[in-house]
Amino acid sequence: MRILQVNKYHFIKGGADRVFFNTINLLEEHGHEVITFSTLRPENAPSNYSDYFVHYIERRRSNTLINILNARRYIYNDLAFKNIERIIREFKPEIAHLHLFYGDLSASILKALRDARIPVVQSVHDYRLLCPANALLDAKGNICEKCRYKSFYHCSVKRCLDGNFFFSSVLAVEGYFRKYVIDPLEYIDRFIFVSKFAEQKHIEFDRRFASKAVHLYNFTDMEDLELRTNKGKYFLFFGRISKEKGIETLLAAADGMKTDFRIVGSGPLEEEVKRFATNHKNVTFLGHQSGKDLRDLIKNALFVVVPSEWYENNPMTIIEAYASGVPVIASRIGGIPEIVSHGKTGFLFESRDASDLALALDLGDKISHDDYAVMSRNCREFAAREFSPGGHYDRLIDIYSKLLKDA
């Protein structure tokens, strides 16, 4: 099968990008031909198709003219339309699988795929189909569903993107463009939701999702690890260091504790974490880590902490922790409670509540070796059942095959 995989980042910036690359590798391992389409950035991983990529759209706070000129491309990118047409003409993909594409690649690619009568699948990693600013959060980081019923002007009024009126307004206009001109629900044949919570939230906003929705968790490699009997050495946070990921709540909970914490990642609150680590001997900031270094950090952790404050879908942090037999302490929000069972595969706490997180951390710190071994085994069993590459591949190919049969 020739499959076109589309994502606006051709490097690992976040969990969605990791899924994009994992999916490519999984399909190629099973003998499928994978064509990729993305944007050109300095950080990009190598690609045989980079000649077809389009330049990403840079936001410049200091250059209003460039931002105005870029706004149109952000809403409808003519070059993305032309280049994906070239890919379709030259490589003849049988099906297209989209990940993150709004903005840099834009809805223009949907028109090109429809014109070529290519079935389209989208993995829904965030809430961009419901919220112009992606995350159902306002500029202050609070949960916001004001754009329900596609009332996207709220994004502009509330300045949801970094508190900036201009950029928030561009997002609002792009939302209305999708509402009135290229409606994703008319152009995309199947939406893969990576959590049941996200699936239901989309159906709440627009009932049309119900007939096109399928549920499929993300996956990761299941390493052949021995069952853990010894407790790990530290609490580990890894991911984007930002407000919506709950890093401030984690620091507040860690303040005064003696157990070691290791924080991995980068993001807008990185300097705040560095200052905190300087004044707290039990907190170590390690910056960005990847590959074997990150896997080793996960394997040796006592618990992975996921203190998110937005509607998380199916966090790769939890999936990768479980695959290594490491239990998780996570906030009770979004799709997280679907995969973290309190007292069985980890502990849950109320999102944004540092005191409740501190109690959960204390439970993790004091867990017995025997109970920890059971919890670790539960994590591995859950991962093998729900997050295995083999199971994911079978379901994904079934989704593709049904669409091709109906095309």
The pLDDT confidence band at residue 232, using thresholds 50, 70 and 90, is: confident
Asked if residue 264 and residue 211 are part of one domain, the reply reads: no
Asked if residue 230 is part of any domain, the answer here is no
pLDDT of amino acid 280: 95
Asked if residue 224 is part of any domain, the answer here is no
Asked if residue 373 and residue 295 are part of one domain, the reply reads: yes
Asked if residue 393 and residue 343 are part of one domain, the reply reads: no
Asked if residue 239 and residue 215 are part of one domain, the reply reads: no
pLDDT(223) > 80: no
Asked if residue 376 and residue 395 are part of one domain, the reply reads: no
Asked if residue 290 and residue 162 are part of one domain, the reply reads: no
Q: Could you tell me the CATH number of the domain that includes residue 349?
A: 3.40.50.2000
Q: How many domains does the chain have?
A: 2
Q: Work out the end-to-end distance of the chain between its first and last CA atoms, rounded to an integer number of angstroms.
A: 15
pLDDT(82) > 90: yes
pLDDT(341) > 60: yes
pLDDT of amino acid 69: 73
Asked if residue 253 is part of any domain, the answer here is yes
pLDDT of amino acid 14: 86
- What is the domain extent for residue 316? 235-386
pLDDT of amino acid 79: 96
Asked if residue 195 and residue 50 are part of one domain, the reply reads: yes
The pLDDT confidence band at residue 20, using thresholds 50, 70 and 90, is: very high
Asked if residue 302 and residue 192 are part of one domain, the reply reads: no
Contacts of residue 119, defined as CB under 8 A and 6 or more positions apart, other chains included, come to: 94, 95, 96, 189, 190, 400, 403, 404, 406, 407
pLDDT(357) > 80: yes
pLDDT of amino acid 70: 82
Asked if residue 141 is part of any domain, the answer here is yes
Q: How far apart are CA 312 and CA 244, in angstroms?
A: 10
pLDDT of amino acid 228: 64
pLDDT in tens, 86-142: 999 999 999 999 999 998 899 999 999 999 999 999 999 999 999 999 999 998 899
Half-sphere exposure (CA, 13 Å, Cβ side) for 332? 11
Asked if residue 187 and residue 170 are part of one domain, the reply reads: yes
pLDDT in tens, 36-69: 999 999 999 999 999 999 998 776 555 565 677 7
Asked if residue 314 is part of any domain, the answer here is yes
DSSP β-bridge partners for residue 190: 121
Asked if residue 183 and residue 83 are part of one domain, the reply reads: yes
pLDDT(217) > 90: yes
| Averaged confidence pLDDT in the chain | 93
pLDDT of amino acid 221: 82
Asked if residue 106 and residue 55 are part of one domain, the reply reads: yes
The pLDDT confidence band at residue 230, using thresholds 50, 70 and 90, is: confident
The pLDDT confidence band at residue 277, using thresholds 50, 70 and 90, is: very high
Percent of the chain with pLDDT over 90: 85
Asked if residue 227 is part of any domain, the answer here is no
Stretch 387-395: mean pLDDT: 94
Half-sphere exposure (CA, 13 Å, Cβ side) for 113? 30
Asked if residue 52 and residue 135 are part of one domain, the reply reads: yes
